[in-house]
């Protein structure tokens, strides 16, 4: 087992990584808790990952639907009503058991239920373990875009149980590998030949350091969105394009390639650095091309709603000082880059 920490003063919390660490839950719950609401999905239960999970408190299990459609205000309302009927108090605890959708939704519900209830993440997907479950960014989607309603609400602990990864289908591995590819440009990235515990720990260490430096995304933390501006635009467009079978990590990989090409167009990086992006993305067996039928105008409209934007087009881009936030990018440069990738205006 590996133990790391997200250092936020009085709100610091441990991140445990290893085979079977979900069974450490009881000792990591807040001492005030007298009951627990466990939020999960049917697929997680069917895989057996709740079997033997004992919070050593009275608890009730709440399931949310699969897929991005579950990341909605309707799901938050449904969970909140369930918590109230169960009698969950502000002093109790919410336990999220699942991937990024579960940790995002359960975390946001905990943030707003009784104006703030403690929660613990038990991350069962690679995406959640290397990214979504750590750092306290919680939220749900609107038809207008990804994660537009949310809150910063730090968990009390995160358990990255690598045993649960054995049940993941290949496409779900791609979700996490997209984030791993991102970390390759932010620090000492994991190597695909390393064991999975070590790969997860390396990603967690990078993210924990960034979050400790900038908890509420006022500056440095924005680099964690590398590749995500286009990724979220693609995911937003995919809500009405049901022929696109695109996982989050695959969208991030395409977004990384777009960011590299845009940075090259702006003179921030050269062709060798673009080639490095292609090599890293390919090394994780991820796509780098836009899905068929992508329209540049639609994607730019979604980008304009991105959380980093301040009435402009804002991107996280590579450059001479490394990956950083770049504001006021000309729409013409964005459209030209998308056109180079095969998206008509």
Strand blocks (E) in the chain: 2-6, 13-18, 36-40, 59-63, 93-98, 118-123, 137-142, 145-152, 157-161, 315-317, 324-326
- Marked catalytic residue, from 202, 232, 277, 307: 232
Looking up tokens 């590996």 gives 2
> Comparing C-alpha atoms, which of 160, 94, 153 is closest to residue 122?
160
Check 121, 141, 147, 225 and give the catalytic one: 225
Tell me whether residue 248 is one of the annotated catalytic residues: yes
C-alpha–C-alpha distance, residues 277 and 240, integer Å: 29
How many CB atoms are located within 10 Å of the residue 245 CB? 9
Bridge partners of 118, per DSSP, are: 93
Q: Which of 22, 146, 202, 207 is catalytic?
A: 207
Decide if 268 is catalytic: no
Which is catalytic among the residues 217, 235, 250, 308?
Answer: 217
- Of 71, 228, 268, 308, the active-site residue reads 228
Residues 139-164 as b/e (b if ≥16 CB within 10 A, e otherwise) read bbbbeebbbbbbeebbbbbbbbbbeb
List the structure tokens of 157: 């602990």
**Given 22, 141, 179, 277, the catalytic residue:** 179
Q: Is 221 a catalytic residue?
A: yes
Which residue from 206, 217, 143, 181 is spatially nearest to 4, judged by alpha carbons?
206
Q: For this structure, is 171 an active site residue? A: no
Annotated active-site residue 308? The verdict is no
Q: Is 215 a catalytic residue?
A: no
> Which residue among the candidates 248, 268, 307, 308 is catalytic per the annotation?
248
Catalytic-labelled residue, pool 22, 71, 121, 137:
137
Has 307 been annotated as catalytic? no
Q: Check if 179 is active-site.
A: yes
Specify the DSSP class assigned to residue 166: G
| Of 22, 71, 182, 221, catalytic | 221
Question: Does the annotation count 172 as an active-site position?
Answer: no
Q: Is 115 a catalytic residue?
A: yes
Kindly name the residue from 10, 27, 115, 321 that is annotated as catalytic.
115
**Residues noted as catalytic:** 115, 137, 179, 207, 217, 221, 225, 228, 232, 248
């Amino acid at each position: 087992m590996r133990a790391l920490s997200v250092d936020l003063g009085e709100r610091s919390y441990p991140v445990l990584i290893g085979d079977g660490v979900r069974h450490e839950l009881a000792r990591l719950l807040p001492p005030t808790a007298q009951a627990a609401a466990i939020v999960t999905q049917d697929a997680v239960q069917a895989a057996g990952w709740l079997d033997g999970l004992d919070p050593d408190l009275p608890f009730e299990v709440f399931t949310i639907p699969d897929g991005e459609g579950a990341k909605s205000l309707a799901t938050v309302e449904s969970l909140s009503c369930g918590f109230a009927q169960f009698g969950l108090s502000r002093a109790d605890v919410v336990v999220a058991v699942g991937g990024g959708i579960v940790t995002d939704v359960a975390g946001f519900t905990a943030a707003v239920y009784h104006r703030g209830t403690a929660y613990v993440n038990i991350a069962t997907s690679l995406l959640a373990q290397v990214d979504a479950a750590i750092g306290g960014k919680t939220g749900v989607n609107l038809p207008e875009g990804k994660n537009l309603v949310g809150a910063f609400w730090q968990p009390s602990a995160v358990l990255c149980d690598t045993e649960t990864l054995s049940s993941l289908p290949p496409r779900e591995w791609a979700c996490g590998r997209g984030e791993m590819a991102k970390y390759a440009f932010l620090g000492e990235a994991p190597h695909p030949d390393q064991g999975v515990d070590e790969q997860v720990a390396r990603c967690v260490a990078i993210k924990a350091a960034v979050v400790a430096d900038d908890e509420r995304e006022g500056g440095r933390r924005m680099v964690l969105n590398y590749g995500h501006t286009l990724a979220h635009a693609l995911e937003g467009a995919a809500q009405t394009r049901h022929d696109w079978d695109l996982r989050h990590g695959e969208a991030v990989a395409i977004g990384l390639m777009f960011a590299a090409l845009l940075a090259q167009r702006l003179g921030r990086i050269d062709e060798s650095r673009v080639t490095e992006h292609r090599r890293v993305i390919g090394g994780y067996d991820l796509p780098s091309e836009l899905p068929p039928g992508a329209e540049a105008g639609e994607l730019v409209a979604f980008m304009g709603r991105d959380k980093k934007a301040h009435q402009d087009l804002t991107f996280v881009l590579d450059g001479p000082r490394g990956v950083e936030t770049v504001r006021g990018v000309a729409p013409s440069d964005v459209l030209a880059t998308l056109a180079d990738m095969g998206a008509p205006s």
